[in-house]
Structure 1
């Protein structure tokens, strides 16, 4: 989309239609005036625009040229054109933001170049937020983070801005996906600071994410205080929000080793769910199995392993489930506790596959680490080599960072057994990924 001044438009039209300056004056204005306007040394007035338009249209009619001009086009200034194009980009992104299968890379390149060239600050904020939303839905969290930050950087700086608080809340959420929990707390608190009258729905999301970040940072008491604050602040929480808060509370109680309290709350939550709410039933069953596994209650561990396997095998939406990777990971842990190593390996593999699909980095790293420990303990060289190839693939696809614990464990293992070829292939993958990262950083 070409952005031109009024004078540039006239010159371009003349050149394309092979019309000279004198012809478009119609004897009503001077050729010198046209020249001054075309060189952007004088503003095009509506009266002159009408004369130019009438004469160009007359000439085209006389020469049978299929072209028609209107004064609105000529008079539209650069700022109006820039804003119109920015609005078109916003409309395009709004229409397509739910289509996660589309590749927007070429359009995004055009948008980026446009925003670099032209300063449309308010619309920049909206466009970058839309791009962040699209990448979040596509589970490309690093790209989503980049665009949300750009959106934040282009805000108007005003307090009591709901839009700004919303962007900060989204940034906090993305930071949790990316395991940037301290940064998530900073953005969440900024969201509250920038708007004293933040809507209840948005306030809940911010406070809930704060509690989640504290839990991930193992600050369980602070997480529980945040949950208590939520319970005291919101008197009419939706059923789903109440459920989400209670799930967090169960996890914090379990990590603080208040197993009985965690178990009782889990049982209560289970009793409140509809029988067809399989997704949430799976989550609560995972938490109960986790509690029994933590206290090594082998009898109940076996019972809940069977319950969870039954639920997963009979859930037709298990592949889309956001809890599948966590459920399979817990089955890997619990089956290993009862010494069913073969089954444990199987479920860790399923957890890794589901976590890759859902881009759940926390569960992915846990499952990779726990699976490798078992394979090394079992001295299963064939499986370890297969694991190594999977790790290399994930490094090159930018699914995992090259500095994670399982990679160092693999290197140590190959070094100890003197397998230099496997060690070198790992190192080469890391070097290749670093080169790709340098290129990506140059792009953004």
Structure 2
């Protein structure tokens, strides 16, 4: 077997060209003759930097036209050792792809360090982007948000050393989604705006997705006018063929109008959404839309319309799939509507159903939200025995709450007022804290 250290630059060029499925005249282009390529590959001419730059540029142009994510640097042609490094990178890629297929996400820290060291040693841009993206995918599926962010960020950062990289926007969207979930709000806005201004090959639909993500963050920040403006731009890039995208836009649009008490426009958005859902047999999304409409009529204190649309919710609810992502919230909002109608028994029934689903899915945020509402229900209904039983069942969880110094200070203050039988002062502190939490 030939010693790889003795492979000449010309022989290295030949094996790379053949692996890419290219002919000599294709990589010659206008500035280098096919004859010179032949001489170089047969060690009868030297591959100089200038020729290596031209050949690499021609190779990359063909890879781009063929939509193949391979980027060749002049160094890949001049330094035969990089050939073996690219091969090793391919083995890393294959192993990471298999991890995603087999769903065995326990990557050892030592293996991650090995991959990082390898990528730092060999500046293989196309391989670096792919490996970091795969690592981001793995940590996304395994719900490790910090690691996911780190690797998607590294992948996007590396991609800017990859000129004319196609579909960079898809990589950016993965990072944006992580930032939305982790409340990196300014980063979402900046990244989306940057992509919209600087990327030329973003398909129309995905421009709309970037605008929607901007709108979503402005909505979270209660910057409603900015959110509505971004939604207006998103709509320009969506058609009725983009049903999924349009539905998200109309829901957020309705919420924005509801927040600003522009109830007529909120209802217009929700009714437009109902037209898209009509005849689609999507019971969960239909229920959510009717619930949003009901919330508008509750705000208007129009009990007749609340009952009218609540009947529509209840007629669709039996057809909602038990595995629906929306079902816990549908049960929760159904409970709230029954509470508005002062039907406490039905309200408790659906709230307990929501609570059971949150426990089953181990969604701790929803669980805490539903328990808090159940406490409110028992207080409002004056069901003190049920309240006492609930608090007893939560005793272990309460004692295991992690306390910070500020919370300890509040508890000490409350304990002092209780010892002084100053119930009014105690009530004021608790009420103000709960109100602040509600508003925040």
Verify same fold: TM over 0.5: yes
Alignment partners' CA distance in 1, 2:309 and 2:101: 37
**2:111 equivalent to 1:106:** no
Map of 1:287 onto structure 2: 292
**Residue of structure 1 equivalent to 2:152:** 148
Task: Kindly provide the CA deviation profile for residues 163-217 of structure 1, in whole angstroms up to 9, marking residues without a partner as x.
Answer: 4432222211122222333332222223224413322232222111111111122
Cα distance in 2, alignment partners of residues 390 and 149 from structure 1: 37
Tell me, what secondary structure is at the counterpart of 2:293?
helix
1:252 equivalent to 2:256? Answer: yes
Give, in angstroms, the shift of residue 138 of structure 1.
4.4
Name the structure 1 match of 2:318: 313
CA distance in 1, matches of 2:322, 2:234: 31
Aligned twin of 2:87:
84
Contact residue 89 and residue 111 of structure 1 kept, 8 A: no
Unaligned runs of 5+ in 2: 6-78, 420-440
Q: Which moved more, 1:76-85 or 1:281-290?
A: 76-85
2:221 alignment counterpart: 217
- The CA RMSD measured in Å over matched residues stands at 4.1
Secondary structure of the residue that 1:106 maps to in structure 2?
A: coil
Relative distance call for 1:231 and 1:271 in structure 2 (3 A) is closer
Cα distance in 2 for residues equivalent to 1:361 and 1:237: 36
Deviations 1:343-390 (A, max 9, x none): 444444544555677787876665455445445665623313434656
SS of the aligned residue for 2:150 comes to: helix
- d(CA) in 2 for partners of 1:176 and 1:128? 20
CA apart distance, 1:78 = 5.7
Structure 1 residues 370-428: Cα deviation after superposition (integer angstroms, max 9, x where no partner): 445445665623313434656789x8xxxxx988x9x99x979996889xxxxxxxxxx
Residue 388 (structure 2) pairs with residue 381 (structure 1): yes
Structure 1 residue 339 corresponds to structure 2 residue 371:
no
**Is contact 1:132-1:145 (8 Å) kept?**
yes
Deviation at 1:258, TM superposition (A): 1.5
Structure 2 vs 1, CA of residues 248 and 207 (structure 1 numbering), >3 Å: closer, same or farther? same
SS in 2 for 1:124: helix
Residue equivalent to 1:116: 117
Range with bigger deviation, 139-148 or 76-85: 76-85
Name the CA shift for 1:284/1:147 in 2 (closer, same or farther; >3 Å): same
1:261 aligns with 2:265: yes
Cα deviation, residue 329, structure 1: 3.1
Residues 85-110 of structure 1: per-residue CA shift (max 9 Å, x gap):
322232333345366xx331136752
| Corresponding residue of 1:278 | 283
Q: Check whether the contact 2:207–2:237 (CA below 8 A) recurs between aligned residues.
A: no
Q: Go from structure 1 to structure 2 and tell me whether the alpha carbon gap of 1:180 and 1:363 turns closer, same or farther (over 3 Å shift).
A: farther
Equivalent residues of 2:208, 2:235 under 8 A apart: no
Q: How does 1:319-334 map to 2 (within 5 A)?
A: 319=323, 321-334=324-337
Match of 2:211? Answer: 207
**Matched residue, 1:65:** none
Q: 1:93 to 1:258 in 2, by over 3 A?
A: same
Matched residue of 1:198: which SS? coil
Which residue does the alignment assign to 2:301? 296
What is the deviation of 1:236? Answer: 7.0
Q: Name the SS for the 1:97 alignment partner.
A: helix
Q: CA deviation at 1:115?
A: 1.9
Counterpart in the other structure of 1:56: none
Task: Tell me the number of residue pairs that the alignment of Structure 1 and Structure 2 aligns.
Answer: 334
Partners of 1:98 and 1:137 within 8 A in 2: no
Please report the TM-score for the alignment, with normalisation by the length of structure 2.
0.62
Q: 1:382 to 1:179 in 2, by over 3 A?
A: farther
Is this contact kept in 1: 2:215–2:228, CA < 8 A? yes
**Aligned position for 1:169:** 173
From the superposition, tell whether residues 382 and 108 of structure 1 become closer, same or farther in structure 2 (CA, over 3 Å).
Answer: same
In 2, the alpha carbon distance for the partners of 1:297 and 1:412 equals: 45
Which residue of 125, 130, 137 maps to 1:126? 130
